[in-house]
Structure 1
Amino acid sequence: MSSARSQWKIHGERVVDENRHIRLSTVDVELPDGTRFTQYVARMPRCAMTLVLDDQRRALLMYRHRFIVDQWVWELPGGYVDHAENVAAAAAREVEEETGWRPRTMTKLVSFQPSIGSLDQPQEIYLARGADRVDTDPDINEAEAVRWIPLTEAAEMIETGEIVGAATVVAIYRALTLTP
C-alpha cells in the first residue's frame, strides 16, 4: 500500500476563493496509473459540537432550516472553533449561545472528517452529561426550536430523515453504544 501512496503526485494547487470560513482551491493530481485530473478541495475551520444528554438519556437538539439542502432538520448545537480557542470551551460556548443551556461537563466523544474526498473540515464532538438553563434565550438566527428528545427517538429520526447532518448522526449512534 505504501508504494501506491508514494506514487500519488500533486502538480500544483490554485486558490479559487478564501475567507475566514472556507478556502476553496483546485489541485492538479496524478494517480499511480498516470491518470491526471483537477480536484476541487475545500478546507474549513475545525468545528465543535456537543451532544448534551440529561439523566433520562434525552438529547438536547435544535430544529433549524438548512437552506443549502432546503430542509428543516434536528441537529446538535455547535460551530466553528475560534483560532486560539480551546475546542471543549468552544463546544460549550456554542451550546449556551444556540440553546440557552449551559453544559455541566464536557468529555470528548469522537473526532471525524465528514467528507475526506474533497473537504478538509475537522469535526470534534463532545458529550455533556446534564445542563443548566441560563437566563439568555437561544439565538433566533440559530434555531426555530430547542427540545430534549429521547436518544432512541433521535435514532428513529435519523431513519425518517429528520436528522441528516453527519455530526448529529455520528453522535447519536455513538451515544447509543455508551452505558448510562
Structure 2
Amino acid sequence: MNLQEKTISTKKIFDGRIISVQVDEVELPNGKTSTRELVKHPGAVAVIAVTDEGKIVLVEQYRKPLEKEIVEIPAGKLEKGENPEVCAKRELEEETGYGCDSIELVSSFYTSPGFADEIIHIYVAKGLKKLEDAAGLDEDEFVNLMEVTLEEALEFIKNQRIYDAKTIYAIQYLQLALGRTK
C-alpha cells in the first residue's frame, strides 16, 4: 500500500525565531481527509566532546519547557543554509570554549517525527583544545560547563540530570565505542 499523504492545504499558525507551526489538511492513502499539526524546525547539531583526560564535556542549563536544569552535550540550532559541521564547531566553541582538531559525523536522526521535522546531526570532536579567545554564548544563553567521567555521566542518566535523547544517545555511543557496557 502507498502510505503517502497528499497535502491539500496548509494553514500557518505561528512563525517564530526557532520554530513555526502549521496545520495541514491531507488526503490519506484511503482517500479520506484528516489534519496534521506540524512543527517546522531548521535542524540542529550536537557535539560529543571528550578531553585528552577522558572527560566528557557537558553543559548544564535551564530548560524552560521542563522548568528545570538538565545536563546536555553542547548543541545548537542550524542557521539558514549553514553547514552542520560548521555549526557543530561553532556551538562547541561558544558553549564550552573548546576548539578541536577534527570533527566527524556520527549520525543524524529526527527527534519527534510524529509532529516535527527537526533533524539533529551528532558529531564527535577529537583533539580538543581550550581556546584563549573563544566565541561566547548567545546573549540569552547561560550554561555551567562540566567535565565528567563516563561513569558520572551514566549516574546522571540514572538520576535524571541527563534526561534528553541526544545526550543519552551520546553517552551510550561512548559506552559502546569504549567497550564499556556496564
3-state DSSP of counterpart to 1:146: strand
Q: CA separation in 1, counterparts of 2:8 and 2:158?
A: 42
* C-alpha contact 1:24 1:40 (8 A) present in aligned 2: yes
Q: 1:99 to 1:13 in 2, by over 3 A?
A: same
Identical-residue share of aligned pairs (%):
26
CA-based RMSD of the aligned residues comes to 2.2
Q: 1:85 to 1:32 in 2, by over 3 A?
A: closer
Deviation at 1:175, TM superposition (A): 1.9
Relative to the length of structure 1, the TM-score reads 0.86
Q: CA separation in 1, counterparts of 2:61 and 2:140?
A: 9
Among 30, 36, 39, the alignment partner of 1:39 is 36
Q: CA separation in 2, counterparts of 1:108 and 1:169?
A: 17
Task: List per-residue Cα deviations over 1:5-52 (Å, max 9, x = no partner).
Answer: 14x443322111224422210012344456643221001012111110
What runs of 5+ residues in structure 1 fail to find an aligned partner? none
Q: CA separation in 1, counterparts of 2:79 and 2:143?
A: 25
Q: CA separation in 2, counterparts of 1:143 and 1:104?
A: 26
Match of 1:142 in 2: 141
Q: CA separation in 1, counterparts of 2:22 and 2:140?
A: 30
Query: More displaced, 115-124 or 35-44?
Result: 35-44
Alignment of 1:1-180 (within 5 A): 3-6=1-4, 8-32=5-29, 36-136=33-133, 138-139=136-137, 141-179=140-178
* C-alpha contact 1:47 1:122 (8 A) present in aligned 2: yes
Q: CA separation in 1, counterparts of 2:123 and 2:102?
A: 9
3-state DSSP of counterpart to 2:3: helix
- When the two structures are aligned, how many residues end up with a matched partner? 177
Query: More displaced, 118-127 or 131-140?
Result: 131-140
What runs of 5+ residues in structure 2 fail to find an aligned partner? none
Q: For 2:148, give the aligned amino acid.
A: I
